Amino acid sequence: MNSFGKLLIIGGMKKIILASTSPRRKEILKIMGLTFSSCSSDYEEEIHLEMPPRDLARYLSRKKAEAVAHKYGNALIIGADTFIHFNAQLLGKPCSKREAVTMLKQLSDTVHEVITGFTIIDTGCGKVRSKSVVTKVSFKKITQDEIKAYVKSGEPLGKAGAYAIQGRGALFIKKIDGDYYNVMGLPLYALSESLKDFGVFVLGRSRN
């Protein structure tokens, strides 16, 4: 057990499986003090499905979790999906440096929403919970030279909206309204609260 607190799982130990190999999501679960394994989900994101953004985030996270759930018995599966909602558009991960440049130009000097949906599945009893969390991010006006240098670093690739808040992408952010970790890829507070419904108490049970 690490220094972040005592992890209690009531009613017997269950394996916790992160349905992702994202380094950022792994880091967040480690911050919570969880002992877990990770498994890549083979579900292909369908970010352009016609449904409200928050519903879509929950839907995609559930599909990712379900794609892994059948591999494990009596385990808790955590699936998640993050994208940007901006000007009635949804921005996922750029597939190329050119696309990353386009995304950063769009987000420059604007306020956008980062939406993460997450789903927890208990494969032992079939219980499922899905939630979505929104964080608003304000970008400064980014110069072409800054965009060029940032994209050249390679950091934007594989990141929703073509930036990493935990990396050099933070240099573009004037302020955020909401959960910082949500922008990284998992809303720490909402996830920890939801895990209580599955008998997982990261810092022990409340006495109130």
Catalytic center residues = 81
Contacting residues for 50 by C-beta, under 8 A, at least 6 apart: none
Report the alpha-carbon distance of residue 162 to residue 10 in Å, rounded.
40
Q: What is the DSSP letter of 157?
A: T
**Element of type H or E holding 37:** strand 37-38
| Closest by CA position to 116, among listed 199, 40, 28, 30 | 28
Report the alpha-carbon distance of residue 89 to residue 194 in Å, rounded.
29
Separation in Å, CA 207 to CA 13, 203, 204? 22, 12, 9
Separation in Å, CA 118 to CA 14, 61, 78, 80, 133? 19, 5, 7, 4, 9
The upper half-sphere exposure of residue 162, i.e. CA atoms within 13 Å in the direction of its Cβ, equals 24
Type of residue found at 161: G
State both tokens at 129: 């919970």
